[in-house]
Amino acid sequence: MISALLPNYARADLAFERGEGAWLWTVDGRRLLDFGSGIATASLGHGHPHLSKAIADQAAKVMHVSNLYRIPQAERLAQRLVDATFADSVFFCNSGAEANEGMIKMMRRAMYDAGKGERFRFIVFEGAFHGRTLATLAATGNAKYLEGFGPIVDGFDQVPFNNMNAVRNAIGQATAGIIVEPVQGEGGVRPADMQFLRDLRAVCDEYGIILGMDEVQSGMGRTGKLFAYEWAGIAPDVMSVAKGIGGGFPLGAVLAKEQFAQALKPGTHGTTFGGNPLACAAGNAVLDVILAPGFLEEVQRKGNKLRTAMDGLAREFPQVYEDARGMGLLQGLKCALPVGEVQAACVAEGLMAITAGENVLRLAPPLVITDADLDDAIGMLRRATLRVLPSKAKEAAK
């Protein structure tokens, strides 16, 4: 008989009672170091006092009023995001897929308003992940995820990642824009070449099409900049954000330049929960921490430290790891063994890591991770590696 909770996930048999910082305690008292952060979402870790208090205080005052009224918490959060980015205006929603839906609608409608309604198609990339709604599934283009959910929403042309010739060849009379993740998270922690991002910017300007970035996973400080596009020295026209922006509270956003943002006039788009006082109180509390002087530099420093250790492991154990890749505190180890085995060994050592495409072990600790916890994690990862090492190599490594 089917379980009451719909079994659409392959869940590990772990249930958590509470957390503190990067640590989680299971209901039966085990302590685990969380290097998944609820898939790069619990950016401030667990039980962060400033975030917990902001949510509790706002919950006690007013949680939800609907977008029929002004919402000061949303106005403030939008202004702060505008001040910190390329964007002139922000739309709030509740998830990454919903942010991408909003971004796709904004891009199409902006073309329509410019008298170019025939430009409705998007260039997207192999290995991408944009969400599980019908349009974002089509943008994701993964045959496994699409199977049985047809007809596939039309308008997405998939080309190889980091391949500018393929992008140029795919641009046609119907192209509205390009949608790209600066770092493909689900696809295997694959960073875009920074030159590729600059070339995408240039080709969009050349053809008068729109550059959309999906920073749902790479954004909100994850790579050591507020947004990963900053590393390339360019800016998108529109951008989707979610995951880390609420620190675990459901919140998503579409950030856009005025020229594109103005396409979503009253009546064109909306959501009931999006940007309500509670969600925006959480978003503001997260920004308080991430925008504090020196915070992002610390993310960079800790990311480099983690990466150096991972590069070392990949060099020392080529039987287990093919390479290390990633940016900031979004790092991956491409495994030579089935990644599930490595992940299970990590859990046995007390380290929760997650997986990604291309047989990659993904490490995405809370951005507030301490050096001591980072050192612990590196030790656990090394011991986990020894656990899965083929026995002859194990003898040699001792």
Minimum distance from residue 120 beta carbon to ligand PLP (Å): 21
- Contact predicate 42/251, CB 8 Å: no
If DSSP states are collapsed to H, E and C, what string results for 156-177? EEEECCCCHHHHHHHCCCCEEE
Nearer to ligand PLP, 119 or 325 (CB): 325
190 pairs with which residues across the strands? 184
Q: What is the separation of C-alpha 173 from the centre of its chain, rounded to a whole number of angstroms?
A: 31
Residue 2 vs 10, nearer CB to ligand PLP? 10
**What type of residue sits at position 283?**
G
Our CB check for ligand PLP shows the closer of 242 and 314 to be: 242
**Cβ atoms within 10 Å of 14's Cβ, excluding its own:** 13
Helix (H, G, I), strand (E, B) or coil at 106: helix
Question: CB of 45 within 8 A of CB of 35?
Answer: no
Measured CA to CA, the distance from residue 242 to residue 279 in angstroms comes to 12
Closest CB 130 distance from ligand PLP, rounded Å: 5
Binding positions for ligand PLP, rule: CB under 6 A: 95-97, 100, 129-131, 181, 185-186, 214, 216-217, 242-243
Peptide bond into 151 cis (omega under 30): yes
Measured from the CB atom, the residue of 98 and 373 that comes closer to ligand PLP is: 98
Asked whether 351 and 210 are in contact (CB, 8 A), the reply is: no
In the complex, residue closest to ligand PLP by CB? 96
Residue 61 beta carbon to ligand PLP: minimum distance, rounded to whole angstroms: 26
What is the spatial distance between Cα 337 and Cα 320, in angstroms, rounded to a whole number? Answer: 6
Residue 41 CB, nearest distance to ligand PLP (Å)? 8
* Nearest distance in Å: CB 95, ligand PLP: 4
CB of 280 or CB of 320, closer to ligand PLP: 280
Residue 134 beta carbon to ligand PLP: minimum distance, rounded to whole angstroms? 13
Q: Give whichever of 130 and 334 is closer to ligand PLP, judged by the CB atom.
A: 130
Given the complex with ligand PLP, which of 331 and 385 has the nearer CB atom? 331
Closest Cα partner for 350 from 387, 314, 318?
Answer: 387
Query: Is there a contact between 189 and 360 (Cβ–Cβ < 8 Å)?
Result: yes
Q: What are phi and psi of 257, to 5 degrees?
A: -70, 155
Q: How far is the CB of 163 from ligand PLP (least distance, A)?
A: 19
